[in-house]
Amino acid sequence: MSERRVPPVGSLGTLSMVLTIASVIYLAAYIPNVPPLGPAIGLMAAAGVVLAASVVLLARARDFAWHSFKLVFGWALVAYIVIAGMLEYVFLYDHTRGGVLALMTLSLVSFTLNVPLLLGFGVARHQPA
């Protein structure tokens, strides 16, 4: 039985999450002071590029269990949107403002897309197309 070729979505998604986590850790290291935003912006930009590459490569996959992917991705996305919404509320409640708020919001968007993408891909890659 031959293994079908799938794009490296798992590796790219993990890399995107690592870049996002590094950005958040960098920002958190400066609490309660305001951090210089350049490194965090660079890390989030790199995470966005890697996430976009992952989505493009997955969209080009022909022999893939899209029904399973959409089912898992959709429900995981709903759950992560709720989680991200609660975390965004916490940021606003704690009076996070300006560039830090924008970067933290981008990090939530990154996680909200990355985790369901990885879950859906992980399930669908082992299903018949």
Residue 31 is predicted with a pLDDT of 84
User: For residue 4, what pLDDT is reported?
Assistant: 72
Q: Measured in Å, how far apart are the chain's first and last C-alpha atoms? A: 15
Whether this model's pTM surpasses 0.75: yes
In order along its 129 residues, the chain shows pLDDT tens digits of 456 788 999 999 999 999 999 999 999 999 889 899 999 999 999 999 999 999 999 999 988 999 999 999 999 999 999 999 999 999 999 999 999 999 999 999 999 999 999 999 999 999 998
- Whether the link from the prior residue into 32 is cis, omega within 30° of 0, is yes
